[in-house]
Amino acid sequence: MKTMKRRLTKAILTLSALVCLASVCWAQSPRVELADKRYNDPKGYFTVVPPAAWRIQEYPDDVRGKVAFLAPDGNIDLRVLVNAVDFSTIDELLEFCRSTEKRLGVTMKIEKSDFHGRQAVRRSFDIRGQRFLYVDFLIGKVDHNLAYGAPPSKYALYLPVILKSMETYEPILKEAGDKESLDHLVAKKLRLGRLMLEVGRADLALEYVREGLAIAPEIQELLKLKQEVDSRFTKPHEQAAIAGGKRFESKKFGFSFNVPENVNVYTADNPGPMAARINADTPMWIVSSVIPTERINVKVTVGESPTTEEILKMFQGDPHAGAIPQYQKISVMVITIGQKQHKAAVEHLHALRVNPPKKLRQILFVHNGNTFGFTCSTSVDRFDAANKEFFDVLFNSMEFK
């Protein structure tokens, strides 16, 4: 019976790591994830939200608006180039692109298209082992060129996040007082606010909505969207449970802890954006609202209570090495947690060789006859800060009843 109990607990704790890996891959997939904040062109021509974790390469000596966002994967990039031209119509832009095709001697698919309400020219072509997508549109006599390049084998994988990033692109209007331009700008803020809500970035959604209201405070659609942003992940009766800097208590499991500022606790009563991930085995997610990929998933094995030594033994080998090829153990040890530092727990530090690399801290303990696994996940470069500002705040403030 004791052996069966250990096997059951080990299987469920292994599942916790697998769930965390699935969460990491989902959150960091190049198909969906955008950066935490917008990039503002220092020369004042545009703003854009690039893909998450892509390196920024600027060109301060170039008088044009110019930047490159470089993927960690290598040889994959999204570039923006803004420069003055001597024409101002879509037909002239189309002819310019065709003349470029002839000059380069490369066969391109060139067509007129719509770029979020603006007439544009779209080009796709292969050259020197790379596949490219170019989008050009005009603001007066200024050409805005967005260019995506990748090896053909990876082009389709990164295209979704590229298109999402392109959706956030905003040219900065140099001339004020044009009602049509202002109407277009307000529509852009509405669309981008809705897009950010769609991808779970309420903070950026609020930023866009506020900018729209600063331009046109009377627009009802913007006011309604602001209400949606404000209430998307919280309800009035839930504020006490998830507000930053307050305590969260689970009477069902018999523990409470401090909730750091800008961190939300999601449960079956307050599922928020984690509704699809909350179930009997994983009843709680604790998620940063500033960096949504910085999170803790909480798993529970009801009615199972191995000793701390038994849990330690489970993790002294490489418990996930076979099931999770990306897994790399760092350390396993017994620690104490809680306000009085009297609750014994096993700390399991490990890394996941994903893109970008992740570092995880798993805290496992038994309380009231149940086994709990708190799996804390963040990027390698954020781990020390997240551990100090988020994870340790929670574990060092725990009280048990």
Task: Give tens-digit pLDDT for 134-169.
Answer: 999 999 888 999 999 999 999 999 999 999 999 999
333 or 178, greater pLDDT: 333
Two structure tokens written together for 365: 């303990």
pTM listed for this prediction: 0.48
Q: Is pLDDT at 1 greater than 70 in this prediction?
A: no
Tell me the pLDDT tens digit for each residue of 255-293.
Answer: 999 998 888 999 988 888 888 889 999 999 999 887 878
pLDDT mean across residues, the chain: 83
What are the CA-CA distances from residue 122 to residues 108, 125, 150 (Å)?
10, 10, 17
Q: Is pLDDT at 12 greater than 50 in this prediction?
A: no
Tell me the pLDDT tens digit for each residue of 321-358.
Answer: 556 678 888 888 999 999 877 899 999 999 988 877 88
Instruction: State residue 98's pLDDT score.
Output: 94
Dist CA 116 CA 196 (whole Å): 15
Q: Is pLDDT at 244 greater than 50 in this prediction?
A: no
Q: Is pLDDT at 378 greater than 80 in this prediction?
A: yes
Q: Is pLDDT at 36 greater than 90 in this prediction?
A: no
Tell me the pLDDT tens digit for each residue of 193-206.
Answer: 887 777 667 777 88
Is residue 25 a contact partner of residue 383, using CB atoms and an 8 Å limit? no
What are the CA-CA distances from residue 263 to residues 243, 252, 290, 387 (Å)?
8, 21, 8, 13
